[in-house]
Structure 1
Amino acid sequence: MLKKLLCTTLIAAGIGAAHAADPGFYVGAGIGQARYDDSLTGQIRSAYTNDPGYAFVSGRLTDDTDNAWKLFGGYRFLPWLGVEFAWVDFGQVSSNYVLHSQVPLTNADANIDGRYEIAGPSATVFGELDFNDRTSGILRVGAYNAQVDYSETGTGADGQPHRFSNSDDNTKLTYGLGLNVRVTPNWDVRLDWDRYTDAGRRFALTNDGNGRFDHIDFVSLNLAYRFGQ
């Protein structure tokens, strides 16, 4: 679907009127897919190294991608320089880890399913390079606040139901690339790739150490409206 929409946009741009990029405000929205880096196994294994109560058996993301979306607005100070603010929702992904009890209990293993939901605001500075009157490339860098909602359910090593949840946030680096096509004087279509680094906190035996993702990659197709063109 994304490829079909992008092809349609490029054709429309090819037959549309030529308009150079102008300073001013714009707003937009995009949809796509987020892919989470899976480094949980090493984090969980490390957390339980030398733990007297449990031994690590396994840990992984049971799925590492989900649909994602963003809303954004920005201002071009110059045809080639601007700022953009966005709210990004990365969807949710799931994990599983198994621990073996090292003390006598009813059930020797704890089997835990986790769920991560990450969203938050971002602020970036971007530079834009015109390839021609309709098409330009964008390079951006800035910061985002990763708001992580984590919950887990499963069975404890004692055979009893297990539930836990926690919310946390941290501010980290984001950067990305975009290909912008100006379809009309007011409407742009943009294909973006963005990387959001270090979401969450490294897995540890604490309430907020539920897992850190080295990066989340978000590929999106976006529609933007320019004011005053």
Structure 2
Amino acid sequence: MKFAKQLVAALFVFSSLSVMADDRGLYLGGGITRVETDEHQLSDDDNAYKAFVGYRLNPYLAVEGAWVDLGNFDGKYGDFEGHSLQATAHFGVPVGQRVRLFASAGVHAWDADNDIAGDSNDLDLTYGLGVEVDVFRNLGVRLEQEVLKVGDLDLDQTSASVYYMF
């Protein structure tokens, strides 16, 4: 019985690893976004949408690709209508069984239909914070706030999404 404590500790570790292993896999999601800018020459905000696909490597790390409609903004010196293709890494921290806080960082290739943003397309950085809640085993909801640099504009994007894990 010398090794009873070590055996119990090993069983506990391996049982918790199997629970964490269920948190891996491919996911697909989409939602609505609210894009805002603090530029005075443009209207303040617009509703848009986002579609994403990702792979959760473990409870702490996921990689994700997204396509985002950046919305339409009317301005005194021109208009802005844009889209973004994003590649990000999500660094998460589980809080309990169903909640995960995360930070994201990556790049996005954007394309603007009008010239108020400066260039008509470019590659810039994006970063953000969010929270995910697994409502059911494979279905969850997400709320996140991201900052996107689009030429001379800084866009703040707030998204409410639903995702499905396979």
Output the TM-score relative to the length of structure 2.
Answer: 0.82
Structure 1 partner of 2:56:
76
- CA drift of 1:37 comes to 2.9
Report which of the two structures shows the higher radius of gyration computed on alpha carbons. Answer: 1
Output the TM-score relative to the length of structure 1.
Answer: 0.60
Q: 2:125 aligned to 165, 173, 195, which one?
A: 173
- CA drift of 1:149 comes to 0.7
Between the aligned partners of 1:83 and 1:136, the Cα distance in structure 2 is 15
Structure 1 partner of 2:47:
67
- CA drift of 1:69 comes to 0.8
- CA drift of 1:167 comes to 7.7
Query: Is the CA contact 2:26–2:54 (under 8 Å) kept in the aligned structure 1?
Result: yes
Question: Does 1 or 2 have the higher relative contact order (CA < 8 Å, sep 6+)?
Answer: 1
Matches within 5 A, 1:103-122: 114-122=78-86
Paired letter, 1:37:
D
Matches within 5 A, 1:25-174: 25-38=26-39, 60-61=41-42, 63-97=43-77, 114-150=78-114, 168-174=120-126
- How many percent of aligned residue pairs carry the same amino acid? 35
- How many residues end up aligned between the 2 structures? 146
After TM superposition, what 4+ stretches of structure 1 lie above 6 angstroms from structure 2?
A: none
Structure 2 partner of 1:219:
158
1:42-72 Cα deviation digits (max 9, x unpaired): xxxxxxxxxxxxxxxxxx22x1210011000
Between the aligned partners of 1:31 and 1:174, the Cα distance in structure 2 is 18
SS at 1:95 equivalent: coil
SS at 2:74 equivalent: strand
1:152-204 Cα deviation digits (max 9, x unpaired): 9xxxxxxxxxxxxx98210000001111111000101001111102x13xxxx
Q: Which runs of 5+ in 2 are unaligned?
A: 1-18
Q: Which runs of 5+ in 1 are unaligned?
A: 1-18, 40-59, 98-113, 153-165, 201-211
